[in-house]
Structure 1
Amino acid sequence: MNDPSPAPTIPVRERNRNRTLLVLIVVVFFGSALVAGALRFTGWQPAGMKNHGELLDPPGDLRDVVPRLVDGGEYDWNPAERTWRIVVAPPADCTDACVSLSHDLDKVWRLFGHRADHVHILWVGTPPEGALRNRVWNVIEPAPGFTVQFPGLDAGGPDGAPVYVVDPNGFVILRYAPGFDPGHLRTDLARLLKLK
C-alpha cells in the first residue's frame, strides 16, 4: 500500500539556483520599498512635482471675506465653479513694474487656452495707467480684512508686487515674490487647473 521508494530529490545545483532567485526577489522588493521610504522621509521630490511659488503654510483664509468691486457689487468666491484666482495687491508707487506685470499676467492667462475661463485675475486697488486688462480682470477695493490674508504683501515697491494664487474655495496657497518669472506661475497654475 505504501510506496517504499523515497521522494525524488532536487539536484543541489537547481536547489541553490532557486534559493538565489528567491533571495534576489526579496532583496529587490524590500530594497525598493526601503529606498522609496528613505526618499519620502527625507523630503525629496522629483523636479516635475515641485512648485515654483512659495507654498503658504498655513494658507490665508478668504472664505468669510467678501471683496468689494471698485465698479460696485461684490466678488463671489463660488467654489462650485472651480475658478482659481491670481491676486495682485501692488503698492501705490508701483507703476512701470506693475504695468509690465499686467502684461505678463495677461500673457499667462491667454496661455491657459480652453482652461483660461477657470482663472480670474484680481487686482487690489487702482491699476496704474497703461495696465493691460482683459475680460477676467476684477478690480477689488483695498480692505484690511482682505489684504491681511496675504503674507509678505509689504515686500512690493516700485520694482514690482508679489502675486498670489487663491484656490477655488478661497484659500491663499502660493506666493510669488516681486520680479518672479511669469512662466513659473503658468507652470504651477496649469498643474492646479488639472485637479478636479
Structure 2
Amino acid sequence: MTTSATDANRTARGRLVLIALFLLFFGSAFGAGLLRFSGWMPAGLKNNGELLNPPVDLRQSSLQLASGEAYAWQPETRIWRILAVPSSAGCATGACDELLAQLDKVWRLFGHNADQVHVLWLGEAPAAAAQLPEVRVLQEDASLREALPRSADPAGAPVYVVDPNGFVILRYPPNADPAGLRTDVARLLKLK
C-alpha cells in the first residue's frame, strides 16, 4: 500500500470519527431540547396534584380554630399544611370519615417529619378528628372557601397543600389517591 493511500484512509477515518463525535454531542443536545419543548418531564419531577399557577395567597387571611384561637402562619417554623375543604353535603355520606382516615395515614407516614405538617380541616369535622393531634379544625370561613380554586366541587372534598408562608400551591381533586399527596408533600419537606 502506498503512502498516499494510507494517508487517504487515515483522513477518511478521522473525518468519520469527527462526524460521529459531532452527531453524538449535537444529536443528544437536539434530542434533549426536543423533549424539553414538547413538555415531557421525567416521572420523578412531576407532581401528583394540580399545580396552582399563580398560587393563592392566604397570608392575609385570619383563620380561626374551632376553639376560637387564631391560627397563625408562622413561616419561620417551616410548617407545611394539608387543607381539607369538605362541603357539608359531601360529609353526609361518610366520605369525610374516610378522608380524615386517609389524611391521618398520610401524616403518620411522614415519620420523624410529621411535626413539620399540620392537617387543617375547614368547617365541621368528623368526631374522630378530636383524637388526632395533627388535625386542626378551622371555623367555617366563606371568604377562604371563595379564595380556593374549585373548592365547591360537587364530587366531594378537595385537598390543598399550603406552603409555610401561606401560599396554596397544589390542589387534589376529591377522591384523589392519598399516595400522590404523600409523595408530593414528602418531596416538599426535603426543601430547605
Give your verdict on TM over 0.5. yes
Structure having the higher Rg = 1
Tell me the percent identity.
51
CA distance in 2, matches of 1:156, 1:85: 23
Aligned to 2:167: 171
Residue pair 1:123, 1:138 contacting (<8 A) in 2 also: yes
Aligned to 2:68: 72
Q: Relative to structure 2, which stretch is displaced further, 57-66 or 110-119?
A: 57-66
Q: Which residue, 95, 120, 123 being the options, matches 2:121?
A: 123
Residue pair 1:103, 1:131 contacting (<8 A) in 2 also: no
Residue segments in structure 1 that go unaligned for 5+ positions in a row = 1-9
CA distance in 2, matches of 1:114, 1:162: 26
Residue pair 2:74, 2:165 contacting (<8 A) in 1 also: yes
Q: Relative to structure 2, which stretch is displaced further, 105-114 or 167-176?
A: 167-176
Per-residue deviation, 1:156: 4.5
CA distance in 1, matches of 2:62, 2:164: 14
Residue pair 1:108, 1:183 contacting (<8 A) in 2 also: yes
Could you tell me the TM-score, scaled by structure 1's length?
Answer: 0.88
Aligned to 1:111: 109
Aligned to 1:15: 11
Residue pair 2:129, 2:135 contacting (<8 A) in 1 also: no
Q: Relative to structure 2, which stretch is displaced further, 115-124 or 68-77?
A: 68-77
SS at match of 2:37: helix
Q: Deviations over 1:140-166 (max 9, x none)?
A: 112233222211111046xx3111111
Amino acid across the alignment from 1:136: E
RMSD: 1.7
CA distance in 2, matches of 1:15, 1:25: 15
Amino acid across the alignment from 1:103: A
1:16-165 equivalent positions in 2, closer than 5 A: 16-93=12-89, 94-95=91-92, 96-131=94-129, 133-156=131-154, 160-165=156-161
Could you tell me the TM-score, scaled by structure 2's length?
Answer: 0.89
Aligned to 1:6: none
Q: How many residues align?
A: 185
Residue segments in structure 2 that go unaligned for 5+ positions in a row = 1-5
The ranges of structure 1 where at least 4 consecutive aligned residues each deviate by more than 6 angstroms after the TM superposition are none
Amino acid across the alignment from 1:54: E
